[in-house]
Structure 1
Amino acid sequence: MESMFTKIGAYQYTSEALIIKGKLQSEGIDVFMADNHTIDFDPLISNAIGGVKLFVRNVDAGKAKQILFAINRYSVDDSGNPVICPQCSSSQVDLVSTIKDLKSLFSFLFSLLLGLLPFYVKYKYCCNNCKNQFL
C-alpha cells in the first residue's frame, strides 16, 4: 500500500521542528510530527533515531518543499549575513557541536552517567561543501 504522507524533514530537537511546522501550517499545510515525545524525554538519542520527523500529505509535498527551500537553513552572523567558509567560500555552513577536546569528552561522559544534558559544549562552524570546521 502506498503511503499517504511524505517526509519533508528531520530535526535534532522538537523546538526546531515546531518552528518549521508553524511556518508550514501558516501556509495552510497540515503537518504531522513523529518521535518528538521520545526526543523530549531523552534528547541524547536524537541522532540515534533520526531526530524529529515532519510529514505532510503527498498532495502538499511540492508546496511544502518550496516553502522550506525559501527558508535559509544555513548559519548567519549577528547582522543576518550568511557565514562564509574561509576555505571554499561556500555559504552552506552549519553550526555544530563537538566533543573533540578532553574537557568536552569528560563533561559529556559525566552528564551521561548522571542523566543530565551536557553542561559544556563547544560549537564550531562546519562547511557542508568541503567539510572544513572553523570558529
Structure 2
Amino acid sequence: MSSESVIVARFDSMPEAHIAMGRLQAEGIEAWLADEHLVQTDWLYSIAVGGIKLQVRPEQTQRALEILNTDYSSELEAED
C-alpha cells in the first residue's frame, strides 16, 4: 500500500471489492484494498470505517474511475 493513494470506490462486501480490484488490475492499474479484513470481522465496522476502500495511485485515478464506471451490460446478448 502506498502512502499516497486515492480512494476510487467503497464497498460493503469483500466479493464486490475484490471483483472491482481485479478489474482494475486486469487493465494494468495497481490497486489495493484498505480495511477489508476489519470489515470482514464484523460488518458493523464497515459503517464505522467507511467500508472497504479501493485505492489507486493518484496518477491512475481518472483511468480507474473510467474503468469502474463503464457498463458493459448492453453488450451482453440475451439467450433465448
Instruction: Return the TM-score normalized by structure 2.
Output: 0.79
Question: Aligned partners of 1:11 and 1:71: how far apart in 2?
Answer: 18
Question: Could you say what secondary structure the match of 1:19 adopts?
Answer: helix
Whole-Å separation in 2 of the counterparts to 1:24 and 1:51: 19
Unaligned runs of 5+ in 1: 73-78, 80-135
* Secondary structure in 1 matching 2:55: strand
In the alignment, structure 1 residue 39 sits paired with structure 2 residue 39: yes
* RMSD across aligned positions (CA): 1.7
Query: Does the residue aligned with 2:40 lie in a helix, a strand or coil?
Result: helix
Larger radius of gyration: 1
Aligned partners of 1:8, 1:36: CA distance in 2, in Å?
Answer: 15
* Structure 2: gaps of 5 or more residues: 73-77
Q: Which runs of 4+ in 1 moved over 4 A?
A: none
Q: Provide, for residues 68-111 of structure 1, a one-character-per-residue CA deviation record: whole Å limited to 9, x for no partner.
A: 11037xxxxxx7xxxxxxxxxxxxxxxxxxxxxxxxxxxxxxxx
TM alignment of 1:1-135, pairs within 5 A: 4-71=4-71
Q: 1: distance between equivalents of 2:44 and 2:71?
A: 27
> In proportion to residue count, which structure has more helix?
2
CA drift of 1:38 comes to 0.4
Per the TM alignment, residue 48 of structure 1 is displaced from its structure 2 partner at its CA by: 2.2
**Percent identity at matched positions?**
37
- Where relative contact order (Cα < 8 A, 6+ residues apart) is larger, the structure is 2
* Length, aligned pairs only: 71
